[in-house]
Amino acid sequence: MNRFKQEDKLYLGFCWIPKLDNEEVLMSVNQIKNKNHNIEIPTLTKVTNHSIKPPTLLRQNDVTNIFQEIVNTYGVPNYKEVNPSVFAIVTFPFLFGIMFGDIGHGFVLFLIGAALCLFEDPLRARGLDAVLQMRYLALLMGLFATFAGLIYNDLMAIPVWIWDSCYDIKEIKKPLDNHKEGEHGAIAFTTKFKPDCVYPLGIDPTWHLGSNELAYLNSLKMKISVILGVLQMGMGVFMKALNAIYRKNSVDFLFEFVPQIVLLFSLFGFMDWMIIAKWTADFTNREYMAPSIISTMIDMFLGFGAIPPGVSPIIGSAGMQQGLSILFLILALVCSVMMLVPKPIILIKEMEEHERHAANDDLHNKKSM
């Protein structure tokens, strides 16, 4: 009651009532009359001519609550904006699984989440509500981590051979120097690819025998993370576009969404394109060595996309790739200017116009008096 304004015979206050709860609120108000006949029924009047920004109401359940809490730590969506937590229910645990990919550790985490879901009532009776809020998050993170572990062929950080390899592997014993004939020291492996072999899932386990295992797997995981990260950022930018369209805000759409999405795909989208193109290209019969994606992106800024001597282009010919690099670099520079310059100027002019109208209204009111 201390938030109401006291009048002579009544209390006056404002509140927000969701449309879905109108009937429930009216029933509660009518119950006041039934319980106490000495007071009048409170009156609810809908106010429409106001400029107050409505608060955000996000209805949650046991599954979505934890993901909404994670999103709220970065910012609460405004009234009727797209709620990112709906997408985070899948994207957050999936990106975690890519980072934490391990069959053993992921399955243990999955079992913990499953146990919390199955034994919810006994655990809640013991006062473990805070732990139970994480049950669906742990379940999904464990599920995706197990899936990524199958892709990586990792079990408790140990390489495993779940499927047959597409390579015939033969062990070779090499004699050590200064040893008698018949004595052997180092062991090496030779591999031969099986024709028309398609590996069922994930990475061929033969990579774990290679001397470049760590470099290859780290590069693969990094590139997959880059591709998925760009898609995740692109989805966030498109959410901003939907919010701008809903609010009919042409300034945000033209000078935030458009330059941001063009800038994103001009730089990072171009990098993802080169990653996929390099994966699908065969450099064995080419004259020059395969290029580095990172070096290519650096040369895009420092050398305007020029292909160094002795390096093969990734996309088309050397001239085509350099032309694309220059085009995307120019687009990125133009978009940077579009994001930083027009909107502040427009907002300043709108603010000055608003102050001018306010000053004219005050002057008109003084003359009227």
> Which amino acid is present at 39?
I
Lowest mean pLDDT among 108-122, 212-226, 235-249, 254-268: 212-226
CA proximity to 200, closest of 154, 148, 165: 165
Tokens of residue 237, six digits: 């930018």
Q: Given pLDDT bands bounded at 50, 70 and 90, which one contains residue 170?
A: low
SS3 (DSSP) at 320: helix
Look at 330 and 356; give whichever has higher pLDDT.
330
- pLDDT score of 366 more than 70: no
What confidence score (pLDDT) does residue 345 get?
A: 93
The predicted model gives 200-225 an average pLDDT of 80
- pLDDT score of 37 more than 70: no
- pLDDT score of 1 more than 60: no
Lowest mean pLDDT among 123-132, 179-188, 274-283, 320-329: 179-188
What confidence score (pLDDT) does residue 209 get?
A: 73
CA proximity to 264, closest of 234, 235, 301: 234
Cβ–Cβ < 8 Å for 73, 52: no
- pLDDT score of 115 more than 80: yes
What confidence score (pLDDT) does residue 369 get?
A: 59
- pLDDT score of 186 more than 60: no
Write out pLDDT tens, residues 279-322: 888 777 667 777 888 888 888 888 888 888 878 888 888 888 88
What confidence score (pLDDT) does residue 39 get?
A: 64
Cross-strand bridge partners of residue 172:
188
Percent of the chain with pLDDT over 70: 87
Calpha distance 292→255 (Å, rounded): 34
The predicted model gives 39-66 an average pLDDT of 82
Give the number of other Cβ atoms within 10 Å of residue 22's Cβ. Answer: 12
What confidence score (pLDDT) does residue 368 get?
A: 60
Task: Give the predicted TM-score (pTM) of the model.
Answer: 0.74
Calpha distance 187→184 (Å, rounded): 8
